[in-house]
């Protein structure tokens, strides 16, 4: 089943208030809480249970919040053979979009082959983030929590600076 055919649990609308209280309780003393919590409320404020739409909307809102201007292209709207899998599907998307480079999270090292992409005229790179480090209530730093944690403890400028440390391989 494709992501656009999946739904959040039916109890999600009732669980949202509980989840927002947990975020509030965990972060209410964070330096950026008053600025970031309305973003979280907005993300969780939608009543749509479609998983794709929830993720898509949350990504758009976070990018807008951070003033990241990027075009989102929904792969299912690209006219390719959608029965293709893995490398073949990504390469077909790249060809259709006339892309010469494809950037994937580092977890894709085991999924995709630079050699296969190269043979198809597409340069494959992987995103590898250095460990971010910032103050979390003066406690020992806990890495890799979430973008919410980064935003709660860092203003937009500092968050952009931290995100700029992402490297490609």
12 and 60 belong to one structural domain: yes
How many structural domains is the chain composed of?
2
In whole angstroms, how far apart are CA 98 and each of 72, 91, 93, 94, 102?
A: 16, 10, 8, 6, 11
Can you give the pLDDT at residue 2?
76
59 and 8 belong to one structural domain: yes
- Which structural domain, as residue segments, surrounds residue 33? 3-70+130-168
The one-character DSSP state at 107 is G
157 and 122 belong to one structural domain: no
In whole angstroms, how far apart are CA 48 and each of 8, 10, 40, 45, 56?
A: 9, 10, 15, 9, 12
13 and 65 belong to one structural domain: yes
110 and 134 belong to one structural domain: no
Can you give the pLDDT at residue 6?
81
89 and 47 belong to one structural domain: no
60 and 21 belong to one structural domain: yes
Residues 33 and 111: their CA atoms lie apart, in Å, by: 38
61 and 143 belong to one structural domain: yes
Provide the token pair at 85. Answer: 């899998």
123 and 143 belong to one structural domain: no
Instruction: Tell me which residues of the chain have a pLDDT lower than 50.
Output: none
15 and 65 belong to one structural domain: yes
121 and 135 belong to one structural domain: no
pTM value is: 0.82
Residues 143 and 124: their CA atoms lie apart, in Å, by: 27
63 and 137 belong to one structural domain: yes
């Amino acid at each position: 089943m494709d992501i656009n055919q999946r739904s959040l649990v039916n109890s999600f609308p009732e669980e949202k208030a509980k989840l927002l209280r947990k975020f509030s309780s965990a972060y209410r003393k964070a330096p950026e809480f008053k600025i970031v919590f309305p973003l979280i409320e907005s993300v969780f404020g939608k009543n749509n249970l479609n998983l794709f739409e929830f993720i898509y909307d949350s990504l758009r809102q976070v990018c807008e919040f951070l003033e990241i201007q990027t075009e989102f292209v929904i792969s299912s709207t690209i006219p390719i053979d959608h029965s293709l899998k893995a490398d073949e599907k990504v390469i077909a998307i790249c060809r259709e979009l006339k892309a010469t480079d494809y950037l994937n999270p580092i977890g894709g090292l085991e999924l995709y082959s630079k050699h296969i992409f190269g043979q198809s005229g597409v340069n494959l790179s992987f995103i590898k983030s250095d460990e971010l480090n910032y103050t979390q209530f003066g406690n020992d730093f806990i890495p890799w929590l979430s973008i919410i944690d980064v935003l709660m403890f860092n203003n937009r400028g500092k968050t952009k600076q931290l995100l700029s440390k992402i490297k490609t391989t």
